[in-house]
Amino acid sequence: MIKIHKLAALLILTICSCQQIEEQRLRLTSKLFNKGMAIAGIAHLKESDPNCNNKNCAMIEVNYPIFKSQPLLNQRIESILKKEIEGFLPSVGTAKTINDYMKLFIKSYVAFKEQFPESKTPWFLEIMIETNYNDSGWLSFASSSKSYTGGVRNNEWMQYINTDTLGRTIDIEDKIGDFSELRQQAEIIFRNQNQLAPDARLSATGFTFKNDEFHLPENIGSNDTHILLHYNNYEIGDNIQGAVLIKIPHPSVTDTEISYYQDIIMYYEDFLNWWSDQNWTP
């Protein structure tokens, strides 16, 4: 009887431990593997001039996520893409869909070539929207574009867009905390990245912060492990510096924590495999 009671107690402890580990597994995998709004797929759209038979042509390519059963969120993503393409068009007329906008980009190039037939300048526009973070009703997108429609060099631009599940803009400060503390952390990382002493002037390495005082960028986003701060070309310097990215670890996510729970999950799964191999019978 005593042995049976001990066995029952052992089973209860085992079950409780497994339940606790399972809860941690679900919490961790949700954080690690970004289990948020379901993505139905990634759209890859491409348009070019069908009548162009040489390398001096026009091409536009767009890539973006499509979310499952989320029409408002999908509409917001489409509106972001349309606005980006619209910046390269003289007018949009009756265009409604993304494909309509893409065709107008090609038509604009055709009209340009008709006006300046001697021009050998090809045009291209590439736009990509990626989902950096997708959890707990918060989505953080990175919308990046690369283009060339003449000039000395390609143009590159990136912006973070933070929304709720309905595509409405959210205040990221409400999600990540007070910006004043974030600014202090960011400046420390920025100075370390650029080998600047704590008391050195920021302009010493060619950066052009207003009044030579560090400030946060307009583009603040997130992924699963870091707060992301992105300065576009020319935002804090000339093109030599290029774009600048600062990554600040989320306070709630550390490598030690991830490693610890990964070990627990591994041991838990090994235990379950061993348990199932024992063919226990009452």
Q: What is the CATH number of the domain that holds 100?
A: 3.30.565.40
- pLDDT (tens digit per residue) in 107-123: 999 999 899 988 888 99
Does residue 233 share a domain with residue 260? no
Say if residues 217 and 190 touch (Cβ distance below 8 Å). no
Domain ranges, residue 50: 38-170
Q: What is the C-alpha separation between 5 and 116, in angstroms, rounded?
A: 92
Does residue 138 share a domain with residue 55? yes
Does residue 151 share a domain with residue 43? yes
Does residue 140 share a domain with residue 264? no
Distances 34 to 38, 117, 132, 206 between C-alpha atoms, Å = 10, 50, 9, 38
Distances 197 to 190, 192, 254 between C-alpha atoms, Å = 10, 8, 26
Does residue 227 share a domain with residue 116? no
Say if residues 84 and 143 touch (Cβ distance below 8 Å). yes
At 205, which CATH number?
A: 3.90.640.20
Least confident window among 104-118, 159-173, 253-267: 253-267
Does residue 143 share a domain with residue 115? yes
Residue with tokens 């390398």: 55
Does residue 109 share a domain with residue 188? no
CA neighbor of 27 nearest in space, from 135, 177, 137? 135
Say if residues 217 and 238 touch (Cβ distance below 8 Å). no
Say if residues 162 and 140 touch (Cβ distance below 8 Å). yes
More confident residue, 47 or 20: 47
Does residue 98 share a domain with residue 186? no
Q: Is the pLDDT score of 74 beyond 80?
A: yes
Q: Is the pLDDT score of 28 beyond 60?
A: no
Does residue 96 share a domain with residue 176? no
pLDDT at 55: 76
Crossing angle of helices 255-277 and 2-32, rounded to 10° = 140
pLDDT at 51: 83
Does residue 186 share a domain with residue 153? no
- pLDDT (tens digit per residue) in 222-238: 999 999 999 999 899 87
Does residue 157 share a domain with residue 231? no
- pLDDT (tens digit per residue) in 112-162: 989 998 888 899 999 999 999 999 899 999 999 999 998 888 899 999 999
Note the Cα 129 to chain centre separation in Å.
Answer: 8
Give the mean model confidence (pLDDT) for residues 247-265: 59
pTM: 0.74
Does residue 42 share a domain with residue 164? yes
Q: Where is 258: in which H helix or E strand?
A: helix 255-277
Domain total of the chain? 3
Phi, psi of 83 (to 5 degrees): -65, -40
